[in-house]
Amino acid sequence: MSPGEALLVRKIRDGTVIDHIPAGRALVVLRILGITGREGLRVAVVMNVESRRLGRKDIVKIENRHLRPEEVNKIALVAPTATINIVRDYEVVEKKRVELPSIVEGILKCTNPTCITRKPREPVKPRFRVLSRRPLRLQCMYCGTIVSEDDVVKQLIGG
């Protein structure tokens, strides 16, 4: 983080900093994490700041909240460039990049209503092959339907 960014939001003591979110996606990340502001958590959102890697980026800082693996997987879908920093006592104790696997399993549902994975009584997990990461394009491994980034975002934020 550049000194200029540091001026915008002060350091957090304990929690998670999600950095290198593609510009404009911070609110989507918050929706994925179910953060509405009413939880009492101290949350900072910085949007459209300069980034050497991305040109522009968003940053989300959440105090006293750590991410579950399935939350990290969902973030990887909409913010594949993101880095997750775990902060304890003002220090970054762990820093990792999110990783979008080549097969995405069990997170999203297929957009095709007549796909077998949409049938509630069948014990089958939806599985998608990643066709492209940017823009995100996934293909259902059962029915072949191609799911776009817009569809993924809509599903993840419950739109």
Partner 1 sequence: MGSARATWLGRDVISILDFSRDMLEELFLVADEMDRFLRSGRVPRLLEGKLVALAFFEPSTRTRLSFDTAAKRLGAETIGFSGEEGTSIAKGENLADTVRMLDSYADAIVIRHKYEGSALYAAEVAEHPVINAGDGKQHHPTQAMLDLYTVRQLFGSVDGLVYGVLGDLRYGRAATSFILGLTLFRPKKLYLISPPLLRAREEVLEVLRQRGIVFEEAGSLEEVIGGLDVLYVTRIQRERFPDPSEYEKVKGSYRVTRRLLEEHAKPELRVMHPLPRVDEISFDVDETKYAAYFIQARNGVPVRMALLALVLGGWEK
By CB under 8 A, name the binding residues for partner 1.
Answer: 112-117, 119, 121-124, 139-146
28 or 140: whose CB is closer to partner 1?
140
The one-letter code for the residue type at 43 is V
Closest distance between partner 1 and the C-beta of residue 99, in Å?
25
Quick one: 28 or 152, whose CB is closer to partner 1?
152
Q: Which two tokens stand for residue 140?
A: 């259902």
Q: Report how far residue 88's alpha carbon sits from residue 152's, in angstroms, rounded to the nearest whole number.
A: 32
Alpha-carbon gap, residue 37 to 87, rounded angstroms? 20
How many residues does the structure list for the chain? Answer: 159
Residue 22: what are its φ and ψ, rounded to 5°? -55, 140
CA distances from residue 108 to 74, 96, 135, 149 in whole angstroms, order as listed: 9, 23, 17, 12
- CB-nearer residue toward partner 1: 89 or 122: 122
- Contact in structure between 74 and 33 (CB atoms under 8 Å): no
Identity of the residue, 45 or 146, whose beta carbon is nearer to partner 1 in the bound complex: 146
Would you say 75 and 31 are in contact if contact means Cβ atoms under 8 Å apart?
no
CB of 116 to partner 1, least distance (A): 4
CB of 121 to partner 1, least distance (A): 4
Which of 65/137 has CB closer to partner 1? Answer: 137
Please, what is the minimum distance in Å from the beta carbon of residue 76 to partner 1? 23
- Least distance to partner 1, CB of residue 96, Å: 32
